[in-house]
Structures are given as structure tokens and as C-alpha cells.
Amino acid sequence: MPENKIRVASLFCGCGGSDLGLLGGFKYLGKHYKRLPFEIVYAIDNDKYAVETYNANFEHPAVCEDITKVDFADVPDVDMMIGGFPCQSFSTVNPTKDTNDARANLYKEIVRFLQEKQPKYFICENVKGLLTLQKGAIIQKIVKEFTECGYNIQYKLIKAVEYGIPQRRERVIIVGIRKDINLSYLFPDSICTENNAVPLRKVIDRLDIEEQKYYFSQKAVQGVKNAKNNMKRGLWQDLNAPCLTLTSHLAKVSMNSRDPILLVDANEELYRRFTPREAARIQSFPDTFKLHPSEAKSYKQIGNAIPPVMMWYIARNLIK
């Protein structure tokens, strides 16, 4: 690798959505996202199946370990850290969850990393709910701790749909630049709006696929018809608009939930779930990205991932 590569540590790397976006060098919906000058020298996640997918797609292998037990002094020195720290406790889907549980405090592993390694820059990602939990106290607490590590912090709610991704996914992006570096980060300008967004039909080759396992039963359809009108159920997607946010429980998608599904035939009352590859496309993974052999694992990994195209724009602006 040339000397001028920016050396990166990827914490909570998952299957590698953020890492793919950071590296670039892939095509999505006919557009080439050029290679960016980053080199991943360390990646870690505690999900062995996500690590299997990661290692099938990247040159530098991720390690499967409990990050709380890692001595960061043993990790290579890096210029930059990226990390989508686990977000289940910050979700808006279940706002009653304890935000002081062990998972909520995993951001402290990022604090520990910053204290130990002092990279020049870092990019973190989390769910929209992080901004509103406890009336904003949680995000302020996290920003304060990152600042105390010696960084100037900026954060923003980023909409995937504004970067050519056919999904209404919103994520909080936190960027830190070490205080001794005389730079300030500017978030990327959006390239489209919700009104002229990439529609779902761009990533769905055909509705009436042959594999019957993706179709909902007539019993499931009848259950939704019998449900109360005020329930958010049977959320079939308009192919001419972006999709609702995909979640990590795609393998358990039901018609009786808030999950996005597809209407195949209104007269026949045929509905189906997304295939893993369709879900990956909705998240902006190129078709060259290898999915896990287990569909259930694939769905979880895809739903948890940072959309690579979104990360590419964020990382490119750091280079700028």
C-alpha cells in the first residue's frame, strides 16, 4: 500500500457496509463510486456470522472478539476510526428500553479507543432516536465524552434517500477531528430530494418471482384484513417511491407489523417479503457483495448495516 493511505480501524464492523463505503471502488445502479484513499488495518465485531461475511468480501480480515476485552494498546496505530456502535437501546421503535444497559454503553468502547489511540479523525453512526432520547441528554452526554478525548465534534441526521439510495433510512452521523488539526468537517450536500429520489423499482427486477418461500400465506393476508384499521400493517411499498427503512429482523418480517413488504398482485392478494439480494440493493450494496449463505443471517446483517453509498459520500467529504 502507498504511504499516503489513511489507516483505519473499524469497530463494530458488522458485515462491512461502512467499510465498503469508506473504501469505494464499486458500482451501484450504474454509477461508479471511485476508490478512496483509505486502508483498513483493523476490524472487529462480536458476531461471528457477520465476520464470516466481512471476511468473504474484504482483503483485511476482521477478528471476532468481545471488544470490551480487547487491549487497544495491541491494536495497530491508525489515522482514523469508524464505528457504528450498537443501537438497539437507542431505537425509536421501543423508547421504553433502558438506555443504561450494557449495549447502550458500548459507545464507551469508542471513548476508550480514542483515549488510547488518538486517531486524527473518526466517524460514528447511530439511529435517529439517539437525538431525542431523554430530550437530547443522551447525544449530549456522548458528544461531551468524545470532546473530552480531544476532538471537535459535529453531528447531523443524514437521510439515505438524499444520496441516491431508494430507502427512507435516517441515521445520526458523528464526525470527530482531533483538536490539534486545523480542519473542520462539512457534511456532504444532498444529491437529490425525497421528491426526485431513486424509486424502489430500480432495485426490484421483478415482483412475481418464482420462489414460493418469499410469499405470504392466505392466512397471513386474512389476518391483516381482520386487523383494526388504525394499526400500521400490510405496509406494501410503492415501487415509484423509496422504501421504508429496512430493519435487522427482516427474516421475521410479517404482514402484521411495521415492516415494508411488496404487493405482487392486488387481485390475487399476493404479497411477499424482499429477497436478501433485494434487501442488499435497497441498502445500496452492489450485486458483487457476497451475502452470507444463511438467509436469516444475511437479513440481519443487511438490516444492521450502514448503506455503503451513504458512507462513501460522508468519507469523500472528509478527504475533501
Is 15 one of the catalytic residues? no
Q: What is the pLDDT of residue 8?
A: 98
| DSSP assignment of 1-43 | --TTPEEEEEES-TTSHHHHHHH--EEETTEEE---SEEEEEE
Hey, where are the domains in the chain?
Answer: 6-196+307-319, 200-280
Q: Are 170 and 150 contacting, i.e. CB atoms less than 8 angstroms apart?
A: no
Distance CA 157, CA 170 (A): 6
Q: What is the pLDDT of residue 97?
A: 47
Q: What is the pLDDT of residue 98?
A: 44
**Of the candidates 255, 317, 313, 305, which has an alpha carbon nearest to the alpha carbon of residue 281?**
305
Residue 188 CA neighbour count, 13 Å, CB half: 22
Torsion of CA 147, 148, 150, 156, to 10 degrees: -10
**pTM here?**
0.92
The answer to whether domain 6-196+307-319 has CATH 3.40.50.2000 is: no
Choose, from 87, 124, 149, 243, the residue flagged as catalytic: 87
Q: What is the pLDDT of residue 79?
A: 98
Q: Per residue of the chain (320 residues), what is the pLDDT tens digit?
A: 445 899 999 999 999 999 999 999 999 999 999 999 999 999 999 999 999 999 999 999 999 999 999 999 999 999 999 998 875 555 444 444 444 544 557 889 999 999 999 999 999 999 988 998 888 898 999 999 999 999 999 999 999 999 999 999 999 999 999 999 989 999 999 999 989 999 999 999 999 999 999 999 999 888 887 776 655 567 899 999 999 999 888 877 878 777 899 999 999 999 999 999 999 999 999 999 999 999 999 999 999 999 999 999 999 999 99
